[in-house]
Structure 1
Amino acid sequence: MHATANGIEICYETFGEPGGRPLLLVMGLGMQMIGWDEDFIGLLVDNGHHVVRFDNRDVGLSSHMPEAPDLMAALGGDTSGAGYLLADMADDAAGLLDVLGWASAHVVGASMGGMIAQSLAIRHPGRVRTLTSIMSTTGPGVGQPTEAAMAALLTPPSPNREAAAERALASWRVIGSPGYAMDTERVARVARESYDRAYDPQGVARQLTAILASPDRAEGLRGLTIPALVIHGEDDPLVTPPGGAATADAIPGAKLLTFPGMGHDMPRELWPVFVEAITELTGRS
């Protein structure tokens, strides 16, 4: 399905019964909504949630922006060329809530999606019932990546779908969870499906520039009055653990769950634990 929100087109999907607790899933940098596995979503639905996942701007079947990104300048500290900020992406999500007819929702964001979810809660506090921030941070200066993780993030674009699958596998071997076996079939399948849906390396560069250009959210998070959960891997090399700790420290009353052996992904073995914690949180609001 497609919605017009905040001046762009947003592609989204719904799961579960409309009477369930409304829950919006926000995906991370360069990842399309299919990065939210349907088995994971099924667990959320089984626990009483009405779930929506969507493509952020510049990925998948949502609108792709026209600006030519200058990522190297942004990485060097000059973010003046950013075409938009995380705040704009948060406004996209708020506009999608309008289209869905949801006055408010529980919001779960992973990585950049956690940053967007945080921004949504800050900018539109009445729209967010609970906030779950997974493997994320308060700003680009906190929880900085290791050199190896940053190198994996910045590998050159892939020329075809098979190369995209190999690139994804190589990246996840660096940033994934060392304590859990990588689901190579799923990683390759999602990469191929994403390539087929819409492959736009410049869109990913625009998203990364938006992250680098956006201000730290710690002060805004201190003003939140909603139940919040922070989930982070103790072996995350892309958003290192101080990012999760800073997020939990900033949000009054936030619960922090950390997992040894978890990197910058969500191991299938931990899904039941994540869903149990999210369900406990959504039941409190």
Structure 2
Amino acid sequence: MKILRDSSIFDSEKGTCWRSDPTFVGYGAGYPEQVELLNFTGRPSDASLPCRMEVMLHATMQTRYYQHRTRQTQKLSFFCICSGRMYFQSNNSVLLAEAGDCVLLKPHCRNDFLYADERQCSYYEFILTGNMLDEFLRIYNLEQVFGLKLNDEKFFRKLFERMKPPADVKPVSSIFPELAGVAFELLQRISSAVQFQTRSSSVDEIRDFLEQRIKEKISMTAVAGKFNIDIHDMNRNFQEAFGVTPYQYLKRFRLRKAGEMLRAGMLVKETSAAVGYRNVKTFSTEFRRFYGMPPLNCRKRRSGK
């Protein structure tokens, strides 16, 4: 997923109107060469439901393809790119989505997407409808999310295949509970991926913060406060990512750096201070426990004595 500053790629795109109703106006040029479509569109009043799946499609494109959607106050789209790449614009956010990326086109936004590449592109699109989409975006922590790396084509394919039999059921209103269920399943899957990536990003930031303060006396409670996270959650998330708690990671990082400094010829007392130990005896004890030898022996090995 690449965030672009230049939106001019959309400026010259035009097309004819292909749909206009109270909740959705769309126009564009071109159409996917291959499309598998499951359409659960019902009566106009169906949009009064809180949330349900309305359209599911799997498409492949090889020629230029553009759509602009507006006034979709009760529509939420998820684009999941399987191969190739596509450009998306949602209000002021411009994205280049590639294989494995998922893009959200939200209600109340100007939403454009463009395939303009020599490589074939295939994707899944899931369109949700309902009168509580804004509330569900908030509940699932997706208000500020426009795109993420997902790499879960099998999940989308299974979802698509599972809904093929209900697509032939008439009237559509008879399967509204199932359409609501699959919509919430999709929201939950996207939300879980966002939370995982946010957590991964957070522990990387904490790790970098610790490594940059190797000489300082650091309180892990203060670190958790700086990153606005409960200390127990910080320890658990960090351990899931790196196998140790932040405190254990910092101690090991300091001792590894100490070994490098001693082998480079630095004195034991200088090394102790350089890696944040104020007491040389404590440093020597922990160094011996970590390396199986006192720090002086490590320095002597370097000098060949």
Classify the TM-score, shorter chain. under 0.3
Of structures 1 and 2, the one scoring higher in RCO (CA 8 A, sep 6+) is: 1
**TM-score, scaled relative to structure 1:** 0.23
**TM-score, scaled relative to structure 2:** 0.22
Rg larger in 1 or in 2? 2
Greater fraction strand: 2
